[in-house]
């Protein structure tokens, strides 16, 4: 069994100059493809259950699926709750076998974000689980705008919450489709100078691949969250599978043809974050 906590995979990443992919899952088909890709590349992987995934499938089921995949995997697999908005959600995830929880209090005033994140981090640590927090709201393409992370606020947040990883807002945006963004490297350097915790980039699909690769190797960013980029590949492969025989109705047969294209696309993402 290679089930791991977030701190167990991010510590070596920071030490050795690479980043780990936090891959946003929606169902069994992408989960198993992500683990297969990680095994093929010989790297750790973080399986993430975000709000839309949890809306579709209950947390206890997701926890069992993540753990089942980890038990058979040859690489470390983290079972991670992405964007938990309440203590109850984080508590349920811990009870369901998740090894890492993210509490997102980024919309809250700083003092309240610190207080609530610190409480959840303490609860997680007592259960042997890692905790990620967010300081500086990361917005959404076509929706709410981002609020850049203030380095001094980030230093206070990391120090007072005792989180294991810190998500920051440095030009990144959720749900971007094609690496059209670019991260504010000056702001990243300023945050690195005053903190020691591993850093996380949400909205990694919107970051150009070359910048992802450079920051994975040359900064303390230890985790890039990737969702949209791989969901788009899943959609392309699914449409192609349906079009090959429009009369087919067995979804198992159709979805089986999505696996290999998704594995290959995921391997490309993982290679871009390697240290060598």
Q: Give the pLDDT confidence score for residue 125 in this predicted structure.
A: 98
C-alpha distances in Å from residue 76, one per residue of 39, 164, 192, 239: 9, 17, 26, 32
Q: Encode pLDDT of 227-255 as tens digits.
A: 989 999 999 999 999 999 988 999 999 99
Query: Is 82 tagged catalytic?
Result: yes
104 is in an annotated binding site: yes
Residue 32, SS3? helix
Q: Is 56 annotated as a binding residue?
A: no
What whole-number distance in Å separates Cα of residue 165 and Cα of residue 186?
20
pLDDT of residue 143: 60
- Mean pLDDT, contiguous 10-residue spans, the chain (276 residues): 92 94 96 98 97 94 97 97 96 98 94 98 98 86 71 96 95 64 86 95 86 89 94 94 91 94 97 82
Per-residue confidence (pLDDT) for residue 11, from 0 to 100: 95
DSSP annotation of 205: G
Token duo for residue 114: 């610190």
Neighbours of 143 (CB within 10 A): 9
Q: Is the pTM of this model over 0.85?
A: yes
- The overall average pLDDT reported for the chain is 92
157 and 168 Cβ atoms separated by less than 8 Å: no
| Domains of the chain, CATH where assigned | 3-271 (3.20.20.70)
Residue 77 belongs to what H/E stretch? strand 77-84
The pLDDT assigned to 199 comes to: 96
Residue-level pLDDT at 9: 98
**Catalytic site residue from 30, 82, 150, 164:** 82
Question: What pLDDT was estimated at residue 205?
Answer: 84
Query: What pLDDT is stored for residue 24 in this prediction?
Result: 96
Does residue 250 have a known ligand-binding role?
no
């Amino acid at each position: 069994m290679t089930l791991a906590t977030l701190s167990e995979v991010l510590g070596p990443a920071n030490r050795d100059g690479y980043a780990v992919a936090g891959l946003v899952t929606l169902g069994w088909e992408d989960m198993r493809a992500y683990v297969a890709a990680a095994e093929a590349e010989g790297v750790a992987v973080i399986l993430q259950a975000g709000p839309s995934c949890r809306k579709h499938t209950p947390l206890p089921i997701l926890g069992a699926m993540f753990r089942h995949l980890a038990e058979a995997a040859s690489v470390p697999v983290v079972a991670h709750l992405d964007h938990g908005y309440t203590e109850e959600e984080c508590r349920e995830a811990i009870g369901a076998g998740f090894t890492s929880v993210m509490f997102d209090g980024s919309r809250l005033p700083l003092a309240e974000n610190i207080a609530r994140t610190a409480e959840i981090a303490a609860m997680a640590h007592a259960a042997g689980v890692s905790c990620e927090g967010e300081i500086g709201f990361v917005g959404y393409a076509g929706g709410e705008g981002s609020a850049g992370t203030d380095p001094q606020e980030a230093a206070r947040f990391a120090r007072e919450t005792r989180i294991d990883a810190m998500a920051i807002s440095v030009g990144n945006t959720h749900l971007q489709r094609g690496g059209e963004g670019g991260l504010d490297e000056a702001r990243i350097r300023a945050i690195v100078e005053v903190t020691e915790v591993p850093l996380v980039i949400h909205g990694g699909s919107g970051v150009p691949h070359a910048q992802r690769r450079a920051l994975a190797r040359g900064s303390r960013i230890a985790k890039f969250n990737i969702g949209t980029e791989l969901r788009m590949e899943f959609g392309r492969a699914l449409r192609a599978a349906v079009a090959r025989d429009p009369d087919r109705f067995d979804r198992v047969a159709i979805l089986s043809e999505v696996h290999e294209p998704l594995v290959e696309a995921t391997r490309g993402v993982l290679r871009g974050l390697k240290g060598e």
